[in-house]
């Protein structure tokens, strides 16, 4: 415990790097996912096929291979990426591929009559997505997206393999430094603390995802379909 307290600033720095990496990845994954997920619902077959190829490609490649490919191959094309940037790109490609499927499924969950009614009113396609389908699709999109964030937090530990000083890498450094300088191995204590903190972060996100899903279901069922609406009589003014 004294070892953890002594290295607390270093540990907090690693946790901050992990959260920064997860948030950066979530931002780019969300941006790409909403663009591609929307394109996957359009009527143009070639667009749907192109999105499908992207999704299957990056979902089927192991994350570690994806990160190594970006980190070691990008310099061959003149792109000198820092370890943080390389891991962000690698995770964002994987995260956006999974997020695209979530967004596509969310839009497909919107009842068909909503699309037909919006088209009958003469709304433009972007207006239908922004004001009609989008708000309804978010009910189905948000809970699994929180689950995706949990997976991205777990996947940030792969950044240690290319030199990102995130939380797992900090634990490795503390173990190696203590073993070399003090002559004893604190692996059980350090990695136990790493496991516990990862568990707290990810279980909190999982709990939030379940709470959000229950909340959205409750809002959706508050007014049941087919419930008759009683109109109040209008009082005539004298």
The yes-or-no verdict on residue 177 having pLDDT over 70 is yes
Tell me whether residue 35 is exposed, middle or buried, using C-beta atoms within 10 angstroms of its C-beta: 0 to 12, 13 to 18, 19 or more: middle
pLDDT at position 235 is: 39
Measure Cα distances from 215 to 93, 107, 203, 208, 220 in Å.
30, 20, 18, 10, 9
pLDDT digit string, tens, across residues 152-174:
999 999 998 888 888 899 999 99
pLDDT at position 220 is: 66
Sign, Cα dihedral of 140, 143, 145, 147 = negative
Q: Is residue 233 situated within a structural domain?
A: no
pLDDT digit string, tens, across residues 39-70:
999 888 999 999 999 999 999 888 999 999 99
Q: Is residue 163 situated within a structural domain?
A: yes
Give how many domains the chain has, as a whole number.
Answer: 1
Gap between the Cα atoms of 195 and 4, Å rounded: 14
- The CATH number assigned to the domain holding 50 equals 1.10.3720.10
pTM of the predicted protein model = 0.83
pLDDT at position 227 is: 42
pLDDT at position 222 is: 61
Q: In 3-state terms, what secondary structure has residue 188?
A: helix
Tokens of 16: 């901050």
Q: Is residue 127 situated within a structural domain?
A: yes
Q: In 3-state terms, what secondary structure has residue 146?
A: helix
pLDDT digit string, tens, across residues 73-86:
988 888 888 999 99
pLDDT at position 24 is: 94
Q: Is residue 232 situated within a structural domain?
A: no
């Amino acid at each position: 415990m004294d070892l953890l307290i002594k290295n607390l600033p270093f540990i907090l720095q690693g946790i901050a790097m992990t959260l920064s990496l997860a948030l950066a990845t979530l931002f780019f994954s969300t941006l790409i996912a909403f663009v591609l997920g929307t394109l996957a619902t359009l009527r143009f077959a070639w667009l749907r096929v192109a999105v499908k190829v992207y999704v299957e490609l990056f979902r089927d490649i192991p994350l570690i291979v994806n990160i190594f490919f970006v980190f070691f191959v990008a310099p061959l094309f003149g792109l000198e990426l820092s370890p943080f940037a390389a891991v962000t790109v690698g995770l964002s490609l994987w995260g956006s591929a999974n997020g695209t499927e979530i967004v596509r499924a969310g839009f497909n969950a919107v009842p068909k009559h909503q699309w037909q009614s919006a088209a009958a009113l003469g709304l433009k396609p972007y207006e239908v997505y922004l004001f009609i389908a989008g708000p309804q699709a978010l009910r189905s999109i948000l809970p699994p997206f929180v689950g995706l964030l949990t997976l991205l937090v777990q996947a940030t530990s792969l950044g240690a393999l290319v030199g990102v000083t995130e939380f797992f890498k900090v634990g490795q450094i503390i173990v190696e430094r203590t073993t070399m300088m003090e002559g004893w191995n604190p692996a059980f204590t350090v990695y136990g603390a790493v496991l516990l903190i990862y568990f707290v972060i990810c279980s909190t996100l999982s709990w939030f995802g379940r709470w959000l899903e229950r909340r959205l279901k409750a809002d959706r069922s508050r007014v049941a379909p087919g419930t008759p609406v009683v109109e109040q009589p209008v009082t005539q003014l004298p």
